[in-house]
Amino acid sequence: MYKAVFIDMDGTLLQKDHTVSEVNKNAIQRLLDKGILVVPISARPLHGLLHITQKVLPDSMPVVSLNGGYIYHNSAIIFQADISLPEVTKIHAELLLYDVSVMYYSQMKWFATQSTSAIIKEQRITDVAIQIQPIEQTIASWNTENSGPNKILIVGDTDLVIEVEQKMKSLYQDKLNVFKSQSSYLELMHLQASKTKALQFLMNRYGILREEVIAIGDNYNDKEMIEYAGVGVAMGNAPEEIKMVADYVTDTNNNDGVAKALAHYFPEK
């Protein structure tokens, strides 16, 4: 029997207009009524998630943001992992060599050194304003707070992102998680921060076994959790590489693919 379902947001639960369909809401409510743990798990920062999840899920459900770098539950942070400040300084210097937009996410705040079209696009999905300031100022404030970024997001042309990905992996493969969340989005995180690590953390917290978990996603940052879960579901709009590792391929995000997957694994009696 399945006891937990982890659902990615963009390209999975959310339609192209960034809303959750009534069909998907009803499907999730049926699981909640059965006592199933339903967890949104997203690359988005928490402030880009709560206005959506609070309309679909009760506060008793944890919310995984920043690809597992920040987990929120009952108005409290139950897990976070950040990148060390010496690494941030090195990464920033390396990225200056590329024509990319770089965003630094730390808890409920996010930062950049300049505004770009990519940053403006990200701003549209969150009510929290980005802070544009020199990286030295941001690092100084983190040093005072004894914190750092939970995620660094790099956005650029697809071919350039591939080049940056290769460079970051060559430098930080044994220090950071480096992976694409979309073809033009590259994410850097602490080694203990990933969607799969978040699954494991919450499984331990709730006493849930791997074979009792379903994970649903659509993109490269979902691949590992789809492979790890007892059942991995890929969306119909997922790249072929993601579909290949899934146990089941459902419909697209714009055609209630989540609800159809849930109906497949939790059929009405």
Per residue of the chain (269 residues), give pLDDT as tens: 899 999 999 999 999 999 999 999 999 999 999 999 999 999 898 988 999 999 999 999 999 999 999 999 998 999 999 999 999 999 999 999 999 999 999 988 999 999 999 999 989 888 889 999 999 999 999 999 999 999 999 999 999 999 999 999 999 988 999 988 888 999 999 999 999 999 999 999 999 999 999 999 999 999 999 999 999 999 999 999 999 999 999 999 999 999 999 999 999 87
Distances in whole angstroms, Cα of residue 64 to Cα of each of 89, 155, 194: 26, 22, 10
Phi, psi of 77 (to 5 degrees): -90, 120
**Which of 118-139 are b and which e, b meaning 16 or more Cβ less than 10 Å from the residue's Cβ?**
bbeebbebbeeebeeeebeebb
Q: Which two tokens stand for residue 257?
A: 């693919």
Place of tokens 């544009």: 132
Q: Order of strands across the sheet with 76-80?
A: 63-65, 70-73, 76-80
Q: Which two tokens stand for residue 64?
A: 């995984």
Q: What whole-number distance in Å separates Cα of residue 66 and Cα of residue 207?
A: 23
Tell me which H or E stretch contains 193.
none
Which of 140, 223, 214, 146 has its CA nearest to residue 177?
A: 223
pLDDT of residue 83: 96
Phi, psi of 248 (to 5 degrees): -150, 135
8 given a catalytic annotation: yes
What's the pTM value of the predicted model, to 2 decimals? 0.89
Q: What whole-number distance in Å separates Cα of residue 27 and Cα of residue 265?
A: 11
Sign of the torsion formed by the C-alpha atoms of 238, 243, 245 and 246: positive
Q: Which two tokens stand for residue 259?
A: 């609800």
Beta bridge partners of 197: none
Tell me how far the alpha carbon of residue 16 is from its chain's centroid.
17
Domains of the chain: 4-80+193-265 (3.40.50.1000), 85-190 (3.30.1240.10)
Of 8, 10, 218, 256, catalytic: 8
Q: What whole-number distance in Å separates Cα of residue 147 and Cα of residue 105?
A: 11
Q: Are 42 and 10 in contact (CB under 8 A)?
A: yes
